[in-house]
């Protein structure tokens, strides 16, 4: 865990900061939220299996089986004729 007062990184077993002796509960209460290096945005067609609805052209995440805008079921791309 990281001390919110002095920013020292401590082993998980410590109950107080190794550097400034601040109790863990107090130090964690003052800790900043971790920042991420990425920004989550809308899905992009063709990335990670995301797909574009043939009916309304909405881009959907890969896990969706129907379009989240118009509810039209996902069509399998490049289905060979039977």
C-alpha pair distances (Å), 8 with each of 31, 69, 73, 77, 78: 11, 47, 52, 52, 55
In order along its 82 residues, the chain shows pLDDT tens digits of 999 889 899 999 999 999 999 999 988 887 665 554 555 678 888 888 999 999 999 999 999 999 999 999 998 654 455 5
Q: Is 26 helix (H, G, I), strand (E, B) or coil?
A: helix
In what helix (H) or strand (E) does residue 60 lie, and over which residues does it extend?
strand 59-60
Dist. CA 50–CA 65, nearest whole Å:
11
Strands, DSSP E only, in 1-82? Answer: 51-52, 59-60
Please give the pLDDT value at position 44: 86
């Amino acid at each position: 865990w990281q001390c919110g007062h002095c920013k020292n990184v401590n082993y998980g077993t410590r109950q107080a900061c190794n550097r400034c002796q601040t109790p863990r509960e107090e130090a964690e209460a003052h800790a900043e939220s971790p920042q991420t290096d990425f920004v989550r945005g809308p899905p992009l067609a063709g990335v990670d299996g995301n797909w574009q609805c043939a009916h309304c052209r909405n881009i959907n995440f890969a896990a969706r089986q129907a379009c989240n805008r118009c509810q039209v079921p996902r069509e399998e791309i490049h289905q060979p004729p039977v």
